[in-house]
């Protein structure tokens, strides 16, 4: 019979959670527990990195437009104001829907920074991943693209880096010429890349009379996609009231067909006839905004007809994120 080993009672040195370094998943956890890192403190680290933040842009100026540029708009840019101003040697920081080669960010030759929005992120918090990318871009050498990585779980978010009082004013472009300073004299391979990207972009226009509403043109019909900040259940009730009353359209031949759910916000969608332009829906959209405000202020229970209308809208809802 094998002799049992004497079990030592000496305690291993213990580290506080804030001191636990990251090691390989199969290595012993540095906390001294005797377990592998992935089964000990690595589990909490992985959870912190992957837990989904439902509204990653909440608290940022223009939250609805952030969602639209992330999910709906092909080509757009926004100048971003930083807390405390721009660092020395950085003339501007520009948010772009997408960058060449799907780079997360780019420090251009002149020192300016471009930050991509429509990128896959390594964690469940888009805001934290983008803040990490932005910080690295601000410190990179000019002419350097920034590669993707998982942001530290305790790193800052975009809400920590941007000036909360600054304006968020998207500029929608017809193509991706903003990628290069001089697109007309770009190298042949760059020009070819621009041509391919431009060919795939759906024509899109931001309405001026209401917030975060974007008209787009497709071969079959046009659409209006409007990102709204209201709580989802209350908004669906209000839309159902208007739909049941025959007051949810944006004019003759238009129809409220459903909604998207994206990054914690709801995006109602209207089908428009092919001949209806962005200018054509400016006034109807402003009038609808007034009707919606009145419907949102109503607390009366939904009627049977309104409940059926709500069920139809809910059945046609698609989650993008």
Cβ-contact 251, 222 below 8 angstroms: no
Cα–Cα distance for residue pair 171/127, rounded to 1 Å: 21
Phi-psi domain of 251 (left: phi exceeds 0; alpha: psi -120 through 50; beta: other): left
pLDDT in tens, the chain (321 residues): 343 434 434 343 344 444 555 556 567 887 778 887 667 766 655 555 568 899 999 999 999 999 999 999 999 999 999 999 999 999 999 999 999 888 999 999 999 999 999 998 888 999 999 999 999 999 999 999 999 998 998 999 999 999 999 999 999 999 999 998 887 777 787 788 888 889 999 999 999 999 999 999 998 899 999 999 999 999 999 999 999 999 999 999 999 999 999 999 999 999 999 999 999 999 999 999 999 999 999 999 999 999 999 999 999 888 876
The whole-number pLDDT of residue 3 equals 39
Q: What is the pLDDT of residue 13?
A: 39
Q: Who contacts 50 (Cβ-Cβ below 8 Å, separation ≥6)? A: 123, 124
Look at strands 105-107 and 113-116 and give their pairing.
antiparallel
Residue 47 vs residues 31, 123, 125, 184, 207: alpha-carbon distances, Å: 18, 9, 12, 47, 40
Q: Which pLDDT score is estimated for 5?
A: 38
CA angle 80, 83, 84 (to 5 degrees): 120
Give the whole-angstrom CA distance, residue 71 versus residue 74: 8
pLDDT confidence of residue 320: 77
DSSP state of 72: T
Q: Which of 258, 254, 200, 197 has the alpha carbon at shortest distance from 226?
A: 258
Given this model, what pLDDT does residue 15 score?
A: 47
Residue 38: both structure tokens together: 């992935």
Cα distances (angstroms) measured from residue 261 to each of 71, 92, 215, 276: 10, 32, 18, 25
């Amino acid at each position: 019979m094998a002799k049992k080993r004497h079990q030592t009672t000496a305690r291993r040195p213990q580290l506080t959670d804030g001191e636990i370094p990251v090691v390989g998943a199969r290595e012993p956890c540095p906390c001294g527990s005797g377990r592998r890192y992935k089964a000990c403190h690595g589990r909490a680290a992985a959870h912190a990195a992957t837990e989904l933040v439902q509204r990653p842009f909440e608290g940022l100026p223009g939250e609805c437009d952030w969602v639209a540029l992330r999910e709906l708009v092909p080509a757009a840019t926004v100048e971003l104001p930083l807390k405390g101003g721009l660092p020395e040697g950085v003339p501007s920081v520009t948010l772009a829907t997408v960058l060449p080669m799907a780079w997360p960010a780019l420090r251009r030759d002149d020192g300016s920074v471009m930050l991509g929005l429509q990128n896959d992120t390594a964690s469940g918090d888009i805001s934290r991943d983008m803040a990490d990318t932005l910080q690295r871009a601000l410190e990179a050498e000019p002419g350097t693209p920034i590669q993707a990585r998982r942001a530290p779980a305790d790193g800052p978010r975009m809400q920590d880096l941007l000036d909360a009082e600054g304006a968020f004013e998207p500029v929608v472009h017809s193509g991706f010429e903003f990628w290069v300073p001089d697109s007309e004299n770009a190298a042949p391979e760059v020009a070819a890349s621009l041509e391919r990207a431009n060919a795939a972009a759906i024509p899109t226009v931001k309405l001026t009379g209401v917030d975060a509403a974007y008209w787009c043109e497709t071969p079959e019909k046009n659409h209006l996609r409007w990102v709204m900040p209201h709580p989802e259940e209350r908004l669906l009730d209000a839309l159902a009231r208007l739909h049941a009353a025959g007051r949810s359209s944006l004019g003759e031949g238009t129809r409220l067909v459903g909604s998207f759910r994206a990054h914690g916000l709801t995006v109602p969608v209207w089908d428009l006839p092919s001949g209806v332009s962005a200018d054509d829906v400016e006034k109807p959209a402003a009038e609808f905004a007034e009707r919606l405000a009145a419907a949102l202020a109503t607390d009366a229970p939904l009627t049977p007809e309104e409940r059926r209308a709500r069920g139809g809208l809910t059945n046609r809802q698609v989650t993008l994120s």
